[in-house]
C-alpha cells in the first residue's frame, strides 16, 4: 500500500498568520480555522490535520539583519517552503539556522525547505529520526502522509547557546512531552519557547511511562525566570497578545498529575478534560479547544494501557 498522499492544490493556502512578537521574533501560525486548508484533507485521519492543523500550530523565527534562527520547521513541506520564501522575500534573510524542539513529525515536516541550512538538534532527536526514517518517509509511522526526512547537521547532548546578531538564545533539554524535548529561552525578552512541553489546553501524552519524569521536569521549568511562554500549540490570540503566563505550566502539571492519579478510577476512560483540569479552567490559564477532545481520548487510552494494573 502506498501511504504517500498527494497534496490537493484545490483551495489550499499555505499562507501563515504572521505574529510579530517583537522587533526580532516572528511567529508563523497555521490552523484553528484561521488559515487556509492544509491540502491533506482527502484523508481525514492524516496526522498533519489531526496532530497540528486542527489544534493550531506555531513555529518561530528569531532574526537580526539578514540572519535568522527558526525554532521548528512547521507542519508540512509546503508550510516550510512558504516560511522560507517569506523570510527571504519579506525580510531579506540570507542565513538561516534551524533548531528542532523535538523529533515529532509536525515539527520536522517543513525541513525539506531548509535542507541547505545548518540544522541543530539533540542527539536523541537525530537518533529518533534515524531509527524511524523509513516509516516516516513511507507514511507508516503516524500514518499518511509520508514526508522526506532531513537529518540534523549538528547535534548536541544537553544545551546549546547561539547568537543571532546581539540576541543571545539558549536551548535547554527537558524531558517533558518527549524524551528529546528542547526549550528555547531568550533571556533579554524574558521569553520561553516551549515546543510541545506546554500546550493549551492539555498536553499530548505519547510517552505515558515517563509522566513522573515529565512532572519533575515541569517543576524545574517553573523555577526558571521568564515572563511569557510561547508554545507550539495554543491560541493565536494569546500568542499574538504577548504569550501565556506561567500559569500554563501549572495547568499542564494539573493535567498530567490527574491523568496518573485517576488511572484506577472505574470510569477513567470516560473522564473529560474538564474533570482533569478544573483549576486551570477556573482560573482561565487554559481554555477548551474542541479538537483536543480526541487528543484527550487517545491520552486516556495510552495512560490506561501503561499504568492500569489489573
Q: How far is the CB of 128 from Zn ion (least distance, A)?
A: 11
C-alpha cell at 110: 517543513
Q: How far is the CB of 266 from Zn ion (least distance, A)?
A: 31
How big is the CA angle at 215 (ends 209 and 220), to the nearest 5 degrees?
135
User: Rg of the chain's alpha carbons, rounded to an integer?
Assistant: 18
In the complex with Zn ion, the residue whose CB is nearer, 84 or 104, is 104
In the complex with Zn ion, the residue whose CB is nearer, 24 or 233, is 233
Q: What residues are paired with 99 via a beta bridge?
A: 71, 120
CB atoms under 10 Å from CB of 33, counted, come to: 9
Q: How far is the CB of 197 from Zn ion (least distance, A)?
A: 9
In the complex with Zn ion, the residue whose CB is nearer, 167 or 197, is 197
**Whether the Cβ atoms of residue 28 and residue 74 lie closer than 8 Å to each other:** yes
Q: Cα–Cα distance between 173 and 178 in angstroms, integer?
A: 10
Instruction: List, in sequence order, every beta strand (DSSP E) within 129-285.
Output: 154-156, 159-164, 167-173, 182-186, 191-195, 228-231
C-alpha cell at 129: 529520526
In the complex with Zn ion, the residue whose CB is nearer, 113 or 182, is 182
In the complex with Zn ion, the residue whose CB is nearer, 164 or 176, is 176
Q: How far is the CB of 280 from Zn ion (least distance, A)?
A: 20
Rule CB under 5 A: which residues touch Zn ion? 104, 196
Q: How far is the CB of 260 from Zn ion (least distance, A)?
A: 19
Q: How far is the CB of 1 from Zn ion (least distance, A)?
A: 26
Place of cell 481554555: 287
In the complex with Zn ion, the residue whose CB is nearer, 164 or 182, is 182
In the complex with Zn ion, the residue whose CB is nearer, 196 or 210, is 196
Q: What would the DSSP string read from start to end of 230-250?
A: EESSS-HHHHHTT-B-THHHH
C-alpha cell at 273: 478534560
Residues contacting 55, CB < 8 A, separation 6+: 31, 32, 199, 233, 289, 291, 292, 295
Q: How far is the CB of 158 from Zn ion (least distance, A)?
A: 19
C-alpha cell at 19: 505574529
Amino acid at each position: 500500500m502506498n501511504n504517500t498522499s498527494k497534496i490537493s492544490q484545490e483551495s489550499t493556502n499555505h499562507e501563515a498568520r504572521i505574529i510579530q512578537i517583537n522587533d526580532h521574533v516572528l511567529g508563523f501560525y497555521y490552523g484553528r480555522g484561521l488559515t487556509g486548508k492544509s491540502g491533506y484533507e482527502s484523508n481525514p485521519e492524516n496526522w498533519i490535520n489531526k496532530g497540528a492543523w486542527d489544534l493550531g500550530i506555531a513555529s518561530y523565527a528569531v532574526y537580526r539583519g539578514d540572519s535568522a534562527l527558526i525554532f521548528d520547521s512547521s507542519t508540512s513541506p509546503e508550510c516550510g517552503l512558504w516560511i522560507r520564501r517569506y523570510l527571504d522575500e519579506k525580510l531579506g534573510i540570507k542565513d538561516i539556522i534551524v533548531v528542532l524542539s523535538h523529533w515529532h513529525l509536525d515539527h520536522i515536516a517543513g525541513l525539506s525547505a531548509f535542507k541547505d541550512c545548518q540544522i541543530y538538534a539533540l542527539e536523541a532527536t537525530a537518533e529518533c529520526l534515524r531509527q524511524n526514517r523509513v516509516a516516516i518517509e513511507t507514511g507508516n509511522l503516524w500514518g499518511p502522509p509520508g514526508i522526506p526526512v532531513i537529518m540534523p547537521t549538528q547535534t548536541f547532548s544537553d544545551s546549546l547557546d547561539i547568537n543571532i546578531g546581539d540576541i543571545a538564545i539558549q536551548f535547554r533539554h527537558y524531558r517533558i512531552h518527549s524524551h528529546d524535548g528542547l526549550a528555547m529561552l531568550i533571556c533579554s525578552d524574558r521569553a520561553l519557547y516551549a515546543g510541545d512541553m506546554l500546550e493549551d489546553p492539555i498536553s499530548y501524552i505519547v510517552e505515558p511511562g515517563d509522566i513522573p519524569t515529565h512532572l519533575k521536569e515541569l517543576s524545574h521549568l517553573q523555577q526558571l525566570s521568564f515572563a511569557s511562554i510561547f508554545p507550539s500549540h495554543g491560541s493565536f490570540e494569546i500568542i499574538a497578545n504577548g504569550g501565556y503566563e506561567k500559569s500554563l505550566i501549572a495547568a499542564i502539571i494539573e493535567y498530567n498529575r490527574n491523568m496518573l492519579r485517576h488511572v484506577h478510577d472505574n470510569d477513567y476512560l470516560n473522564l473529560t478534560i474538564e474533570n482533569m483540569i478544573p483549576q486551570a479552567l477556573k482560573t482561565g490559564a487554559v481554555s477548551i479547544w474542541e479538537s483536543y477532545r480526541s487528543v484527550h481520548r487517545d491520552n486516556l487510552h495510552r495512560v490506561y494501557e501503561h499504568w492500569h494494573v489489573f
